[in-house]
Homo-oligomer: A and B are copies of this chain.
Amino acid sequence: MQIAATITEIRALVSQARKAGRTVGFVPTMGALHAGHVALIQAAVEQCDFVVVSLFVNPTQFGPGEDFEKYPRPLDQDLALCRAHGADAVFAPGRTEMYPRQNLTWVSVEKVSEPLCGRFRPGHFRGVATVCTKLFSIVGPDLAFFGQKDAQQVAVIQRMVADLNLPLEIVVCPTVREPDGLALSSRNQYLSPQERKEATVIYRALCRAAGLIRAGETDVAKITEQMHEVLRQVPALRIEYASVADAESLAELRQARGRVLVAVAGRLGSTRLIDNVVVDVGAH
């Protein structure tokens, strides 16, 4: 496995692979890799000849007061995981390699970025879309792999790739969960043992909603009331939203129909947690 700290180096590695006729898969990450990331790397290794993983904690997607400084950066452990799971190259640039001057160019995706997390993290998806455009331009992959856990990120990136005709395909991999249902996240390590136990309430609320929808309930007010009933079992959880939205446009719905995204975000102590499930109502 080769490690590139500069744009020039990673471009040279990819160019060499291309010349040898290999297809290129890309797994963009902020590091602090867990089994969810490993699943992305494995999917990339299965589907592509040459797999690049990027490790970059992108400052432009963190708001003021968010956890940019404290975000975990266990580089040696991340490199070991990439190596163990068959990545061919890691791109681990420093901040000034990615942003050598004041960044003036922004990629923004209207509407899809605005509801759900967009209401609580202004500028976040603009930072995500911008850094992904940069990383896609640097690596030039055929396929890029994202986790369903970050459902709105997936929707934003898919819309961006379609609107800008970016020459790659987005592959979405299922959320990986702990045995008790908690979605894996690099931020789970911020949780105290007590919070870690309480955090499972989010997945239980999602399952309650999914069960109702599968049983034929379409009234979103009733579905979200049921989610809140579950979530109230943990008074420490400060709920940001418990929503039912169209899985592609992310427009919040009053009636569940088509592919619906059921999504919850909330804070336990200082830790922000998000999770979602997608249910196909199959009744257009």
Q: Chain A's interface: helix, strand, loop or mixed, by majority?
A: mixed
A interface residues, how many (CB within 8 angstroms): 28
Q: Does A159 contact B (CB under 8 A)?
A: yes
A164 and B109: CB pair below 8 A? no
Interface flags, A148-170, vs B, CB<8A=1, else 0: 00000000000110111111000
Cα–Cα, bound, A92→B208 (Å): 52
B106 and A108: CB pair below 8 A? yes
Copies in the complex: 2
- Tell me, rounded to whole Å, the shortest Cβ–Cβ distance linking A98 to chain B: 8
- Tell me, rounded to whole Å, the shortest Cβ–Cβ distance linking A111 to chain B: 5
Selected contact of A105 from candidates B101, B103, B109, B134, CB within 8 Å: B109
Cα–Cα, bound, A133→B160 (Å): 11
- Tell me, rounded to whole Å, the shortest Cβ–Cβ distance linking A194 to chain B: 42
Chain B residues near A159 (CB-CB < 8 A): 104-105
Contact residues of A between 115 and 162, Cβ < 8 Å to B:
129-130, 133-134, 137-138, 140, 159-160, 162
Q: Does A239 contact B (CB under 8 A)?
A: no
- Tell me, rounded to whole Å, the shortest Cβ–Cβ distance linking A165 to chain B: 5
Q: Does A7 contact B (CB under 8 A)?
A: yes
> What are 14 A-B contacts with C-beta separation under 8 Å?
A103-B163, A104-B110, A104-B163, A105-B107, A105-B109, A105-B110, A105-B129, A105-B159, A105-B160, A105-B164, A133-B164, A134-B165, A137-B165, A137-B166
